[in-house]
Amino acid sequence: MGHSAAQMSAIAAEQIARVERALASHGTREYPVAVLDLDFFDANAADLARRAGGTPIRVASKSLRVRALLERALEHTGFRGILAYTLPEALWLASAGYHDIVVAYPTVDRSALRRLAEDPAARRAITVMVDETAHLDLIADATTGVHLGGTPIRVALELDASFAPVPSVRFGAHRSPMHAPEQVSRLAREASARRGLRVVGLMAYEGQIAGVTDSARTPYGAAVRAMKSLSSREIATRRGETVRAVQEVAELEFVNAGGTGSIESSVAEDVVTEVAAGSGLIGPGLFDNYVGFAPLPALLLGFTVVRRPAPRVATLLGGGWIASGVPAADRLPTLWYPRGLTYAPQEGAGEVQTPVIGDAAEGLRIGDMVWLRHAKSGEPAEHATVYHLLQGEHITDVTPTYRGEGRMFL
Ligand SMILES: Cc1ncc(COP(=O)(O)O)c(C=O)c1O
């Protein structure tokens, strides 16, 4: 169960006391500042591993976008391999020595496919995702004239894991067009017949279970929980049938399933060999409201008060780090500390300034910090060039994000 409001307040007060002491003794002067609480990150990693119950967790890199954090996650027992989000990212990681990288989304980047084709070490390290013939054609184009020797391009097939209980109702992301097991086994057959390709894996991401909050004590919350329970039964049957059908065509090294929010139901399926997770390491705002687990908030964003336009209003410089997805209030950062602040209804979180309102604003002075949490895990790394790593009461390192390393993949 998610943390109660009182628990959240206690967590925030203890954490911010540590953060502010650490930044003061570190001499941090550059704001906004992103602080990654390693104690909470490690506790979250241990909790994910506990929930996975021995099924390996593949780290979803899009939810970190910081190499030092990918490495730290992979040092934890129970974690193995990377679920990358673009082929250029995977090639970059492979060139830095990472291996066992599955790219979770199809690529149409011909130059990246060509680089993959021409690099045997990358071909060994990386698996690309396909869900239709056009993807196979693009790979074939990119490999034309390249001698692949005994190191084929590794491909995985994505099964659509969405749930459509009746014809006009559908839950889940619009991802793969392959919903039926036969569609997947047909593409497996086609891929296996192509020169230089080897089908090695299957992936299906049940986003309607993994990525939808479910703890609301309302009719909506009850409906979400019912949908999840029906959907997990449906995908278990269909995923099992798909794996058996594909195994007649190809030898599968992995069957990847789920995300942070679906670990228990994903690992309960016999055919699933690994789960993917990333958000659960960070514990962003959107993961505060799940029934089955409660990650600790590991990533904090500190913005400074630069104006006091009225007694109960303090205005921050910046703050408008809005999350992707359907635009709504849940895409705003969570106002984490001081507790009890709200957004100004007509401004929200702004590009250059964010007024925060309430009794708690009364005590804020020019130069004070207000701490926010992003709604999503990986997107702050597109704003911040470095994360300050906090351990106990000390900043132990300042590490670059992908963006800080000059990399932008999406
Ligand atoms: C294929 C796939 N697996 C898993 C996840 C879940 O990642 P996380 O646990 O970071 O939310 C995602 C998120 O979008 C995904 O696209």
Instruction: Provide the percentage of residues in the chain whose pLDDT is more than 90.
Output: 94
Burial (CB count <10 Å: 0-12, 13-18, 19+), residue 28? middle
Q: Which amino acid appears at position 177 of this protein?
A: P
Cα–ligand 1 centroid distance for 259 (angstroms): 5
**DSSP-derived secondary structure for 113-173:** HHHHHH-HHHHHHEEEEE-SHHHHHHHHHHHTT---TT-PEEEEEE----EEEETTEEES-
**103, 260, 286, 299: which to mutate for ligand 1, most atoms within 8 A of CB?**
260
360 vs 327: CA distance, rounded Å: 27
H or E stretch at 355: strand 353-357
Q: Is the pLDDT of residue 148 over 90?
A: no
Cα–ligand 1 centroid distance for 276 (angstroms): 6
* pTM (whole model) above 0.85: yes
> What is the reported pLDDT for 1?
64
Quick: pLDDT tens for 343-387: 999 999 999 999 999 999 999 999 999 999 999 999 999 999 999
Q: Is 92 in the pocket of ligand 1 (CB under 6 A)?
A: no
Q: Is the pLDDT of residue 8 over 70?
A: yes
Please, what is the end-to-end C-alpha distance for the chain in angstroms? 33
Q: Is 402 in the pocket of ligand 1 (CB under 6 A)?
A: no
> What is the reported pLDDT for 149?
86
Cα–ligand 1 centroid distance for 230 (angstroms): 20
339 vs 283: CA distance, rounded Å: 18
> What is the reported pLDDT for 372?
98
Query: Which range (51-65, 103-117, 202-216, 338-352) has the least confidence?
Result: 202-216
278 vs 62: CA distance, rounded Å: 8
Q: Is 284 in the pocket of ligand 1 (CB under 6 A)?
A: no
Quick: pLDDT tens for 149-208: 889 999 999 999 999 999 999 999 999 999 999 999 999 999 999 999 999 999 999 999
Q: Is the pLDDT of residue 145 over 80?
A: yes
Quick: pLDDT tens for 79-90: 999 999 999 999
Q: Is 60 in the pocket of ligand 1 (CB under 6 A)?
A: yes
> What is the reported pLDDT for 213?
87
Neighbours of 230 (CB within 10 A): 13
Q: Is the pLDDT of residue 133 over 80?
A: yes
Q: Is 278 in the pocket of ligand 1 (CB under 6 A)?
A: yes
Q: Is 205 in the pocket of ligand 1 (CB under 6 A)?
A: yes
Q: Is 389 in the pocket of ligand 1 (CB under 6 A)?
A: no
H or E stretch at 70: helix 67-75
Average pLDDT over residues 251-265: 97
> What is the reported pLDDT for 3?
85
Q: Is 303 in the pocket of ligand 1 (CB under 6 A)?
A: no
Overall residue count recorded for the chain in this entry: 410
Please give the sequence-ordered ranges of beta strands (E in DSSP) within 2-151, or none if there are none: 33-37, 57-60, 79-84, 101-103, 126-130
Cα–ligand 1 centroid distance for 405 (angstroms): 23
Q: Is the pLDDT of residue 140 over 90?
A: yes
> What is the reported pLDDT for 289?
85
Q: Which residue has the tokens 């203890």?
A: 14
Average pLDDT over residues 211-237: 93
